[in-house]
């Protein structure tokens, strides 16, 4: 069974960046890409694990936790088809 996920990691990254009052250009410098690439990341619901790792380190937060928390909840409830969600 494949669980449907409704975690939009791009929106979450954007929210965390704004909470820290940092710019797209700042994040781009931290992870060695362009501000245009940062905008693409914000628009994508999915992300490569290495990018998520780099962004987590740059922002000083565990962005993987939203996935593991949602997965643990779905597994604990014994419902692998449950929609995985996490609020931003």
Q: What is the pLDDT of residues 14-55, one digit of tens each?
A: 999 999 999 999 999 999 999 999 999 999 999 999 999 999
- For the range 14-20, what are the long-range contacts, defined as Cβ-Cβ under 8 Å and sequence gap of 24 or more? 14/42, 15/88, 16/59, 16/61, 16/63, 17/59, 20/59
Q: Domains in the chain, please, with CATH?
A: 9-62 (1.10.260.40)
- pLDDT interval class at 86 (50, 70, 90): very low
Would you state the pLDDT for residue 5? 59
């Amino acid at each position: 069974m494949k669980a449907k996920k409704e975690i939009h990691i791009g929106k979450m990254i954007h929210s965390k960046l704004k909470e820290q009052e940092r710019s797209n250009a700042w994040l781009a410098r931290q992870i060695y890409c362009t501000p245009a690439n940062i905008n693409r990341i914000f628009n994508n619901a999915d992300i490569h694990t290495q990018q998520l790792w780099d962004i987590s380190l740059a922002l000083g937060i565990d962005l993987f936790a939203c996935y593991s928390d949602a997965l643990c909840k779905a597994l604990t409830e014994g419902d692998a088809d449950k929609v995985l969600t996490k609020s931003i």
